[in-house]
A and B are shown apart, each in its own frame.
Chain A
Amino acid sequence: MVKRLVYVGVLLLLIALPLAVTSKYLIQLINTALVFLIIVTGMNYVIGFSGQISLAATAFWGIGAYTSALLTTTGGISFWLALPVAATFATLSGFVIGFPTLKLKQFYLGIATVGFGEIVALILLNWTALTNGADGVPGIPKPAIGSYVFDTDYRFYHILLVAAVLLLLLSVRIKNSRFGRGLLAICEDELAAEVMGVPTHWYKMMAFALSAFYGGAAGSLYGHLIGFISPDLFVFRQSIVFLCMFMIGGSGYIAGPVIGAILLTLLPEWMRFLKGYYMAIYGLAVVVLAIGMPTGIMGLAERYLPRLYPWLEPDAEAPATLAQGRAEEA
């Protein structure tokens, strides 16, 4: 009960946040962090809960962004319709990739998603008639309700906040459901899960489709936030940035993606002196985290800050994560 009140209080503070942020640049960063938070939360279903490896986050993000941008610019459709259409389209493409690969051993999905990312990048760049090629899509309209247009970063913040909170709540609900526990079981031991009656192929597909949905929605929001998208945003490298956010925050925790996305969006701004080195450091960080700290910041909090942990993690009683160890077999 107290926890609920605290969450409501935090939410009210977040709603009022633009009043406190005077720097236009900072609010831009916060908005970007919210978009990334949605994407990384989506990755949690696949990597964190079900223990499969997917590198398609950037591809879904790009599909969502382009679908929504093209529908609203050349198609003349309203943002409010384009957003669900973009998310649905990304979800469908997730099914196409997930269906053949999720029946197989874990790593096949990883392989197929590497290819999928490259194909999406190739299409965005080369299918000039549809995507406008390397020039990108300019002039993506801002959403509006009646005469209220979300045309500044301060106004857009509230759309992103609502989307992020709703999608996070969905993630809490799902983790706690029969479906969510099924995914955790798959991660621990797929064969055992299957024997216990978990429809493993179907559940893995659902998890992957959900992550595609999150990516597509985030893409649509991002396009309308920035107003201009081009293929060079949606390259494979970006998937590594998302993976790094995911690993740093903590795989399998609800709060992990939140912490990771916010940290790694704000942090590079404070570490500008690293300049050309930061992708190398992201790569190395992913290796070091996988080896030394597979549960990320939330894993450390769970172990070393038992008092604080229940306040950070909305669902602190549930088993958090899977990738904790155990020599299993395929």
Chain B
Amino acid sequence: MAEIIQLTVSGVAMGVIYALAALSIALIYTAGGVVNFCQGGLVMLGGYFAFTVLTAWRLPYPLALVVMMAIMGGIGLVFQRLVYYPLRYAHRLMFIIAGIGMSVFLENIVQIVWGPAPLVVRPMLTMSTLNIGGVFLEPQAVAIVVVTGAILLFEHYFLRHTMVGKMTQAVAQDKDAASLMGINVGRMIAITFLNSTILAGIAGVLIAPVFYVSVGIGSILLKAFSACVVGGFGNASGTILGGLIVGLTEAFGARYFSPQYRDAWSFVLLIVFLLFRPQGIFRERISEKA
């Protein structure tokens, strides 16, 4: 029983990180109508910046998070301007190809800037493992769940209850109508990229103490995609549920089947869903967009 609870906690902790990465993909997908294959690279970049602000500069955690979010937000804007903007009318294939190229570029640039060796980042809570009635909990896992929960609440508030958030949602639903309502569509898409890149960066910061910071973090892309497909592509609450399902499947699959194939589980889920329920648990909210 204790083991099941432990696995559930670690599965949920990884799951919410996948959910963050998946949400960052879903936001761009709904607003820009494109799938960004570079999102894994951005999560990885967040991990490397976490090393810079936390280990190299020795900033306290809250300040480090703010600095890191500012950096990632800036990168999001630059990415939007240099890669998305020139391709916004091109064949959609081209943005996917550019995203793939960009992620390879980032993976190799970080090895040049930060060196090829995996880096250590200190966890958010520097206490030893908690023992609650025979159940061992990693403090970082608890911190991940709490921080992600807070961020998701904030996102919900931002998207549903602020003017800017509502404007980005309007753009996601119908660009032409939004434009006729006086919304600056290009700026809203830029804000969405900024928001999405910050989310990816936070996922990187949270995951950094769990594993070492290395280019391997980029493989979170596949898990985030699986989360998107499981939950329903472009559906925000769906992707969160999808992330949890992927995280739990992985935790239990690795424990009870085979640890070597840990990374295979998200793919198995992906294929099963594509075969039997390609629209995901929740359907895409905005179905075929013009």
Do A326 and B267 have beta carbons less than 8 Å apart? no
| Cβ-neighbour of B101 out of A47, A118, A286 (below 8 A) | A286
Do A328 and B91 have beta carbons less than 8 Å apart? yes
Q: What residues of chain B lie closer than 8 Å to A291, measured between beta carbons?
A: 83, 86-87, 94, 98
Interface of A is mostly: helix
| Cβ-neighbour of A51 out of B91, B101, B108, B222 (below 8 A) | B91
A222-270: which residues lie under 8 A (CB-CB) from chain B? Answer: 237, 240, 243-244, 247
Confirm or deny: A287 has a beta carbon within 8 angstroms of a beta carbon on chain B.
yes
Q: When A108-B278, A285-B101 are in contact, do A114 and B93 touch as well, CB less than 8 Å? A: no
B215-248: which residues lie under 8 A (CB-CB) from chain A? Answer: 219, 221-222, 225-226, 229
What's the minimum C-beta distance from B259 to chain A, rounded to whole angstroms?
10
Do B274 and A53 have beta carbons less than 8 Å apart? no
Q: What residues of chain B lie closer than 8 Å to A327, measured between beta carbons?
A: 88-90
Do B264 and A243 have beta carbons less than 8 Å apart? no
B260-289: which residues lie under 8 A (CB-CB) from chain A? Answer: 260-261, 263-264, 266-267, 270-271, 274-275, 278, 288-289
Of A11-19, A70-78, A272-280, the one contacting chain B is A272-280
Alpha-carbon distance A100/B268, docked complex (angstroms): 13
Q: When A115-B222, A290-B101 are in contact, do A329 and B229 touch as well, CB less than 8 Å? A: no
Do B278 and A100 have beta carbons less than 8 Å apart? yes
Q: When A111-B225, A118-B222 are in contact, do A286 and B290 touch as well, CB less than 8 Å? A: no
Confirm or deny: A126 has a beta carbon within 8 angstroms of a beta carbon on chain B.
yes
Confirm or deny: A146 has a beta carbon within 8 angstroms of a beta carbon on chain B.
no
| Cβ-neighbour of A287 out of B101, B112, B219, B221 (below 8 A) | B101
How many A residues touch the partner, as a band? 35 or more
Alpha-carbon distance A8/B83, docked complex (angstroms): 44
Do B94 and A323 have beta carbons less than 8 Å apart? yes
Q: What residues of chain A lie closer than 8 Å to B106, measured between beta carbons?
A: 283
> Which of A112, A287, A289, A291 counts the most chain B CB atoms within 10 A?
A287
Q: What residues of chain A lie closer than 8 Å to B89, measured between beta carbons?
A: 325-327
B102-122: which residues lie under 8 A (CB-CB) from chain A? Answer: 102-109, 111-112
* Total inter-chain residue pairs, C-beta < 8 Å: 147
Do A106 and B104 have beta carbons less than 8 Å apart? no
Do B105 and A287 have beta carbons less than 8 Å apart? yes
Q: Closest residue to A285 on the B side, CB-wise? A: B101
Alpha-carbon distance A106/B92, docked complex (angstroms): 9
What's the minimum C-beta distance from B10 to chain A, rounded to whole angstroms?
21
Do A279 and B108 have beta carbons less than 8 Å apart? yes
Do A119 and B104 have beta carbons less than 8 Å apart? no
A188-219: which residues lie under 8 A (CB-CB) from chain B? Answer: none
Do B98 and A290 have beta carbons less than 8 Å apart? yes
Confirm or deny: B100 has a beta carbon within 8 angstroms of a beta carbon on chain A.
yes
24 intermolecular pairs with C-beta atoms under 8 Å apart: A53-B97, A100-B271, A108-B229, A111-B35, A114-B37, A114-B225, A116-B267, A126-B261, A187-B91, A244-B101, A247-B97, A277-B108, A277-B112, A280-B105, A280-B109, A286-B101, A287-B101, A290-B95, A290-B97, A291-B87, A294-B94, A323-B91, A325-B89, A330-B92
| Residues of A in contact with B (beta carbons under 8 Å apart) | 47, 51-53, 55, 100-101, 103-104, 106-108, 110-112, 114-116, 118-119, 122, 126, 187, 237, 240, 243-244, 247, 276-277, 279-280, 282-287, 289-291, 294, 322-330
| Residues of B in contact with A (beta carbons under 8 Å apart) | 33, 35, 37, 83, 86-98, 100-109, 111-112, 219, 221-222, 225-226, 229, 260-261, 263-264, 266-267, 270-271, 274-275, 278, 288-290
Extra contacts besides A55-B100, A118-B222 (20): CB < 8 Å: A100-B274, A100-B275, A115-B267, A118-B219, A118-B267, A126-B260, A187-B91, A276-B108, A279-B107, A280-B104, A282-B101, A283-B103, A283-B106, A287-B83, A287-B102, A290-B90, A323-B90, A324-B91, A327-B89, A329-B290
